[in-house]
Amino acid sequence: MTNTARASMPHTFTNLAIHEAGHIVACDLYHVRYGNASLIPNGFSDGHVLIERPRTEASARARIDVALAGGEAERIYDGTDEPRIREFGDMYNVKRWFDYYVDNDTEELADFMRRRRRIVREALEQNWYAVLSVAQLLKERQTICRHQAKSAILQAKHAENSLKV
């Protein structure tokens, strides 16, 4: 799909930006290293954030939370609890790192996912202004590097703190 065609679908494009921004803000919150983020399709997905592979059990848990953050950000934005189509790629990543925690038991996996989603959702809600700021930057530029994302997050946190005073 061309960028012109994508621009004619603002709801979908905005949701995609929110989804990727959720991953970026979660990377920042959970100290997961990442590279660039893009809304330009790469043949595998509509958008992506390049995230460093986990090296320890703790970083695998953080990486799972980052993978869940995209769908949770969309749910917060839409005000619904329905699954998102882009989550299939995210869930593939979750299952790759899930072996650190439990055997491949469906009930245990479902319980683990509910707990992690709740934690991620609360973290994103507390940093929602940062998610919106990064999403806006992504919509404007379509591809951003980590430094641009970090700058948007810091500016959002600063603006939010100045509103509290």
Asked if the structure places residue 165 within a domain, the reply is: no
- Is residue 71 included in any domain, yes or no? yes
Q: Residue 10 falls within a domain, yes or no?
A: yes
pLDDT averaged over the chain?
80
Tell me the pLDDT band of 109, cut-offs 50, 70 and 90.
confident
Please give the tally of structural domains in the chain.
1
Q: Which residue would you say has higher pLDDT here, 74 or 80?
A: 74
Alpha-carbon torsion (100, 109, 104, 63), positive or negative: negative
Please state whether the predicted TM-score (pTM) of the whole model is above 0.95.
no
In a domain, 117, yes or no: yes
* CATH classification at residue 142: 1.20.58.760
Give the per-residue SS3 of 50-82.
EECCCCCHHHHHHHHHHHHHHHHHHHHHHCCCC
Domain containing 106 equals: 3-160
Task: List the structure tokens of 106.
Answer: 């469906």
Q: Is residue 95 part of a domain?
A: yes
DSSP per-residue codes, 15-32:
HHHHHHHHHHHHHHHHT-
Residues 15-58: tens digit of each pLDDT: 889 999 999 999 999 998 888 888 887 666 677 887 777 676 66
Q: Is the pLDDT of residue 112 over 90?
A: no
